[in-house]
A and B are shown apart, each in its own frame.
Chain A
Amino acid sequence: MITKKDILHVAKLAKLKLTEEEIEKYLSQLSAVVEYISKLNELDTENTVPVSHITGLTTVTEEDTKENKRQLSQSSALQNAKSTKNGFIKVKAIFSGE
């Protein structure tokens, strides 16, 4: 069953900081869901091929071309960033040893 350790591990992978309260709440709510979804084990799917694409489409590609109708200007590309500098987007310092 899903444990508190699982929640903490997963929160880290998903880059979510949770409060103690949240951890407890999600633990109990998700335990119920995880138990429910285990229902699928009742089905024998040994010889079933998983759906790869529900439309049955394969090999959809685009030609290599220089025509770009969706090119964004620098200002459009940056218009929603909270912090920019000289055309770059600024982020919290990452040490170069990262």
Chain B
Amino acid sequence: MDLESLTIKDAIEGLKNKKTSIIDLVKSCFARIDKLNKKLNVFIELNEENAIKQAKAQDNDLVKAGKEIFNQKPLFGIPIAIKDLYSTENLRTTAGSNIINDYVPPFDATVVKKLKNAGAIILGKTNEDAWGHGSSGENSDHGPTKNPYDLERVPGGSSSGSAVAVRTNQCLMATGTDTGSSVRLPAAFCNLVGLKPTYGRVSRYGVIAMASSFDSVGHLTKTVYDSAKVLEITAGIDPYDATSVRKEVDHYTEFLEKPIKGLKVGIPKEYFVGGMDTKIEKLTREAIKIIEKLGAVIRDVSLPHTDYAMACYYILVPSEISSNLSKFDGIRYGSERETFGAEAKRRIILGTYTLSSGYYDAYYLKAAKVRSLIKQDFDNAFKDVDIIVAPTSPSLPFKIGEKANDPLQMYLSDIFVCPINIAGIPSLNVPCGFINNLPVGMQIIGPQFEERLLYQVGSAFESETQFYKVHPKI
């Protein structure tokens, strides 16, 4: 069995049919980690000893319980990585930052608990833009992660380490967070499936907060099936998170084979009005044609307030960031506030300014109103169509350092992804091709809690195109 390019689905099959063992899976991942971690800068903290111990114990359990164990523990034996923004009990958690460089949480995030209960094995904590601040991976206090398709380019962020870990088979799934781009962009830049779930679909408890009303707890995988399988575990209301929603968790994997004939797909015209790399636009339109070929009905939709999304985002998000980072005072954990990196300081200053006396109405309140308008845009569009398809990034993965000196430029590269977080709706990035051997992704966006529709379309597209099979030469 080729352990070098497995999906979760393959791994489970292999374990069920005794073609491989859990210890083999885990050891093969660590071999890849040994080989590639330094070069790519993927992991901040490894959990090798525990993972090996766990793998051996679980192999014994598997022998005793047989295949039935996968009914209670659907991810049994699956090696995974956790973004370093998630609290992991007794496992160092740094948020990619120097401030809590030696912080060891005394508790697990709810999602971590759920994944552990499902039998997954945590290999380590992945690198990221510190605190989630960034869309390239360059803002990590531990150095940037590299794109495996081109080591001089960024892998996207902020879940940069998670993306590269999955793409280079250092694990089979990695968790991420998406506040404005941070799962979908690295998924697009690394040829992966990345889910940003509906805000409130997955518990935020234990995930270090960036912008409380935007943070969505997602994950990255090679295939749509794998992504759906993981969401079945992570989704659901949590009494520890007052913003999580009581809504039945669908059996997402069961929607993957459903044909998309007759499904109405909206193309937002404001997303195609220039500023985008023309090759990306061409590729995206080709992808849309494929979806049409599969039976979907393509329609134009309008999201009239698109132009204001970034301004709205860059008021509300830094405001919440500045507030959420107030707890880092160096007293109960971490170092003094001087240790914050430049991007964190920048956002704290901006956010404190927009919340400060005399400015609150002009900025925060105004932006909260515009947020209403942007949500309304999507609500209205979804009256005419079932899902919306849009590009994920206006540009190809750029070179490390290329955008570093112009924060505003960097912020504006999130133009296609941020509005989704403003509206609180779900979006799935699926690979949609390559340009100059660099991956390009596409978003499948749906109404709140309609992740099963995203998976349905994503799966149909993936079966037709199979881009996930194009591995980086590393």
Contacts and interface: CB of A to CB of B under 8 A. Distances in A.
Contact of B345 (A22, A39, A42, A79): A22
Interface in A25-41: 25-26, 29-30, 32-34, 36-41
B104 interface: yes
A13 to B, nearest CB: 5
A79 B245 contact: no
B123 interface: no
A49 B372 contact: yes
| Chain B interface residue bracket vs A | 35 or more
Interface string A3-14: 000110111011
Interface in A65-98: 70, 72, 76-77, 79-82, 89, 91
Given A26-B346, A26-B349, A79-B106, A40 B367 contact: yes
A6 B366 contact: no
A78 to B, nearest CB: 8
A39 B106 CA distance: 44
Contact of A80 (B104, B243, B348, B370): B104
A43 B373 contact: yes
A39 B408 CA distance: 14
B329 A15 contact: yes
Contact of A39 (B243, B311, B371): B311
A7 B356 CA distance: 12
B454 to A, nearest CB: 18
Contacts of A62: 239
Contact of A17 (B329, B330, B338, B407): B338
A54 B213 contact: yes
Given A36-B314, A57-B245, A16 B332 contact: no
Nearest to B100: A80
A14 B104 contact: no
Contacts of B144: none
Contacts of A76: 106
Nearest to A82: B330
B255 to A, nearest CB: 23
A16 B349 contact: yes
Given A22-B345, A55-B200, A29 B245 contact: no
B406 to A, nearest CB: 8
Which among A15, A17, A36, A54 has the highest number of chain B CB atoms within 10 Å?
A: A54
Contacts of B315: 37, 40
Nearest to B334: A80
B112 to A, nearest CB: 14
Nearest to B205: A70
Contacts of A42: 308
A17 B312 CA distance: 28
A50 B335 CA distance: 37
B332 to A, nearest CB: 5
B364 to A, nearest CB: 9
A54 B216 CA distance: 12
B239 A45 contact: no
A81 B331 contact: yes
B98 interface: no
Given A22-B345, A36-B311, A13 B331 contact: no
B382 interface: no
A84 to B, nearest CB: 10
Given A14-B322, A81-B332, A50 B372 contact: yes
Interface of B: 102-104, 106-107, 199-200, 213, 239-240, 242-243, 245, 305, 307-308, 310-312, 314-315, 322, 326, 329-335, 337-338, 340, 342, 345-346, 348-350, 352-354, 356, 363, 365-373, 375, 407-408, 411, 423-424, 448
14 contacts: A2-B353, A11-B349, A14-B322, A15-B329, A16-B338, A29-B408, A33-B350, A37-B363, A37-B367, A40-B308, A41-B366, A43-B305, A48-B370, A54-B200
Interface of A: 2, 6-7, 9-11, 13-18, 22, 25-26, 29-30, 32-34, 36-43, 45, 48-51, 53-55, 57, 60, 62, 70, 72, 76-77, 79-82, 89, 91
Given A18-B345, A50-B371, 7 more contacts: A16-B340, A26-B349, A30-B349, A42-B308, A51-B369, A54-B200, A91-B331
